[in-house]
Amino acid sequence: GVMEKLGLGPEVLLQENPRLVYARLTGFGQMGKYAKSAGHDINYLALSGVLSKLGRKGENPYAPVNLLADFAGGGVMCAMGIIVALYERTKSGKGQIVDASMVEGVAYLSSFLWKSQNIGLWNRPRGENLLDSGAPFYETYKTSDGKYMAVGAIEPQFYEQLIKGLGLDSNKLPSQLSFSDWPKMKKMFASIFAQKTQTEWCSIFDGTDACVTPVLSFDDAASHQHNKQRRSFIKNDQEEISPRPAPVLSRTPAVPSFARDPFIGEHTEEILLEYGFTKQEIAKLHSDKVIEFSKPKANL
């Protein structure tokens, strides 16, 4: 209801321009019991059902930072809704309102979990399934130098290469999908991974299809050979590292800016002046807390 209070709700603006695509991104959506309630990523994740699936056996469910509901179920799904509405407009000539709820967005994002419940992937308690840390071949393991390796050797041919790299004989081990042996196998794998450094394990598994990769810090990710070859990370003019825009388009790739990120509100006055607002009108908007300013600090 914030935009309605400003006189800028969709009904008003769509009368001005019926081709307008008006996106509304919220946690709980535009209607329903919680529509006007405050919340954060963890709350939307909880209400979607997805949070109940995240976490290790015997531990509380945990939210993976705020990536799932805020950015994936929220921002990305909202952007997709805008693109869909823009494409539909090429046929109808009309705009519409996009109601992007983070609860529904992250629930839809997790459709795989819902639709694979009856095929054996998620029929066990949290932390005991194939992809949620239950399987010894889909897990992270600590190395002798305190770093970690990520293992994702699901397919039998990949699993065989994992076993070979660990110096084990698959003929002397339980079946890969022997659920009752998974806890024992995880302990065995952990003890073996703990005997070598991350670099040593990389030298063993790089170039194989064992699906074993190092767990990299941000700094290490930016300097990793593969990422450097693809120029996956960029530096701005203040030497700050960030990911390059993705995905990469062949004909019209994104051209990232190498300037520092603007401060919140840094260009508010400048942009409003460009759009014809007077300094008095801008001052009134600021005093009414509709907009905010932020002047960058001098670098002395």
What does the DSSP assignment read for 105-173?
HHHHHTHHHHHTGGGTSS-S-TTSSTTTT-STTEEEEE-TTS-EEEEE--SHHHHHHHHHHTT--GGGS
Q: With helix as H, strand as E and coil as C, how does 57-102 read?
A: CCCCCCCCCCHHHHHHHHHHHHHHHHHHHHHHHHHHCCCCEEEEEH
Q: What angle do CA 196, 194, 186 make, to 5 degrees?
A: 130
* Residues of the chain with confidence (pLDDT) below 50: 300
pLDDT of residue 296: 59
pLDDT of residue 184: 97
Looking at the domain 2-119, which fold is it? Rossmann fold (3.40.50)
Distance CA 139, CA 151 (A): 5
Known catalytic residues are: 40, 70
Each domain of the chain, given as residue ranges in start order, spans 2-119, 138-215, 260-299
Query: Can you tell me which residue has the tokens 């930072």?
Result: 65
pLDDT of residue 300: 47
Distance CA 97, CA 82 (A): 9
pLDDT of residue 297: 57
Distance CA 171, CA 154 (A): 18
For domain 138-215, the question of CATH label 3.30.1540.10 is answered with yes
Report the run of H or E that residue 242 belongs to, with start and end.
strand 241-243
Per residue in 199-250, pLDDT (tens digit) is 999 999 999 999 999 999 999 999 999 999 999 999 998 899 999 999 999 9
Fold match, 2-119 / 138-215: no
DSSP state of 250: S
